[in-house]
Chains A and B, each alone.
Chain A
Amino acid sequence: MFAEWLFTAFALLSILGAIGLILFRHPMHGAMSLVVTMVSLAGLYALLSARLIFVLQLIVYAGAIMSLILFIIMFLNIQTRDLPEEKGRILYLLGGIVLLVPVASFLIKVVKSLPATEATIVGSGFGGVKEVGLVLFQDWLLPFEIVSLLLLVALIGAVVLAGKRRFVK
């Protein structure tokens, strides 16, 4: 029962944060509401007993990435007047809602038609650091290495692109 209340709270907060990200005019407020979404997603992971994913979500998304975004917003000192004026904002919003209504009603229908199943609670070791590590480095070693190679390429690319300006001068 308590877990259900928590789930509802985190789900509501994550949706509210996402709405805030779109609706807030000031970038700093938008970034802060994205932080709320990230943290409540972490809470949802924790409810699903994915402890490692929970803490990684906090470290990587809510911690590192969002603080870099905040840092950039502060560094460039973006104010509301620096942003392009958005005319017809309300119209776009209404149009989007009208477009989304059939999709949303379809999704609700699909979810309702799902057969009721008994949920079993996974063992106490599920989602811990050791368990995820073992799966990652035994069953999924090749995909893991490929993904890390991809990230490395992106990293080196970023460094090269950032450093290029110096050679041009």
Chain B
Amino acid sequence: MTSLDYLLIALRVAFAAFVPLCFIAVCVWMERRGAGFFQDRSGPNRAAIFGFRAAGLVQNLADAAKLIFKEDVISGHIKHKFIFVLAPVIVFFAALVSFAVVPFADTLVLGGRSYIMQGVPVDLGILWFLALAGFAVYGIILAGWSSTNKYGILGGLRSAAQVISYEIPMALAVIGVLIVYGTVNLNEMAQFQGQLLFGFIPMWGAVLQPLGMVIFIVAAFAETNRTPFDLAEGESEIVAGFHVEYSAMKFAVFFMGEYVALFVSSAIIVTLFFGGYQVPFLATATLIDNARPVAFLLLLLLPVAMYFFAGWIRRNNVSHYPRENDPRAFEAKVYIRGLWGLVVVIELALLAILFFASPGGPAAHIFAALLQVCTFLVKVTLMLFVYVWVRWTLPRFRYDQLQKLGWQILLPLALLNIFVTSAVVVILS
């Protein structure tokens, strides 16, 4: 064990632990501004620190301060206090730990040693995710039950029945994927998706398993209790469902757990069906061999993109009525300067790679890994946007419709998918 080994272990564990937590803020922000966008309004954008609103991100800080300083009530009628407190913790940690097996870059080779880029180096992959998805339901059942509240119990029952039902089509959709990739390891799956179909289409799961992808995504929506499957909360019917008795930080832990679960299931969807960390058309080996042309291309494209982005900020971050010395125009100017500073730093790093990186050397490997991390995060963010998009577009299902969809449509389709996929795989091999 050299110091490099320790550094990389610390880095990968820190990434697996802190990136989902940071994405809570991104998800909440995207949810609110997305809701505003779909409903033709602005969304929260007034909370500010010295006039800097960060496009509404400061609202999250205000919310956090509110939740931390709220009174933490446990009503007197709750008898099983230990279980009542345990429930949100289970939900949160089950979601967080399931990210541990998702690779966020290809295996990094430095000085002849390879480092796996995922939180915990186990090769169980998708099985680990399925196991922990089953654990999250404990938290919901226990929360609903220990609340000793009709709405709580109804929410817990609905949620448990829904998660148990949708686990079956989800697992069956995964089987189709496993037949195609021939592995349960998520890193090997992502490596497989770096190939090209007919020489020009990325061999993503979405191309090879379109039906499996639709089934998996629908089941993943149900597993995370998101609209159109949010009957567990169903504000108009059962107030808030299983977390109706929770206040302050205990509620916040549920809330954060939901968004971590959202992040993790987006990451799993991206890894299974959208090529994981792979840059489209540039598999890891190609990327390492062509580090310099890619760096050169980025060097040219980044300032152009930044120029247009700066223009967009300048046009949109203004007051909607004439003001003297518009503070928002000043705000926009500061943002644009900060972003240009960031771009300059990245450009310098790219220049260094352009001049000093030998093809296949350690710098090229690190460059490829960083590029893959960025690709992974961009893909996950896009998938998170799909979650927000669906939530604010579709109405909630009725309970019988939900069970009918799960058992009578998704389950037969998933079985059909398995048979067709295995037939095709047998014929082609």
Contacts and interface: CB of A to CB of B under 8 A. Distances in A.
Interface in A54-79: 54-56, 58-59, 62-64, 66-68, 70-71, 73-75, 77
B157 A74 contact: yes
A68 B168 CA distance: 14
**Interface majority SS (helix, strand, loop, mixed), chain B:** helix
Interface string A74-86: 1101000000000
B8 interface: no
A4 to B, nearest CB: 21
Contacts of A157: none
A32 B135 CA distance: 12
A35 interface: yes
Interface residues of A, number: 26
B124 A51 contact: yes
B83 A63 contact: no
A77 B153 contact: yes
Classify chain B's interface size. Answer: 20 to 34
Contacts of B137: 67
A45 to B, nearest CB: 12
Contacts of A68: 164
A71 B160 contact: yes
A58 B131 contact: yes
Interface stretch (B138-146, B222-230, B363-371): B138-146
Interface string B112-146: 00000000001110011011111101100110110
A28 B138 contact: no
Contacts of B184: 129
A56 B135 CA distance: 13
Contact of B127 (A28, A55, A70, A73): A55
A143 interface: no
B127 A59 contact: yes
A35 B134 contact: no
B157 A51 contact: no
Nearest to A51: B124
Given A32-B83, A51-B122, A63-B131, A74 B156 contact: yes
Contact of B134 (A29, A59, A73, A77): A59
B80 interface: yes
A73 B160 CA distance: 12
A17 to B, nearest CB: 14
Contacts of B164: 64, 67-68, 71
B322 to A, nearest CB: 60
Interface of A: 26, 28-29, 32, 35, 51-52, 54-56, 58-59, 62-64, 66-68, 70-71, 73-75, 77, 128-129
Interface of B: 80, 83, 122-124, 127-128, 130-135, 137-138, 141-142, 144-145, 153, 156-157, 160-161, 164, 167, 184
18 contacts: A28-B83, A28-B142, A28-B145, A35-B138, A56-B127, A58-B131, A58-B134, A62-B131, A62-B135, A63-B133, A63-B135, A64-B134, A64-B164, A68-B164, A70-B160, A71-B164, A74-B144, A74-B145
Given A58-B135, A62-B131, 9 more contacts: A28-B142, A29-B83, A51-B123, A54-B124, A55-B124, A55-B131, A58-B132, A70-B141, A128-B123
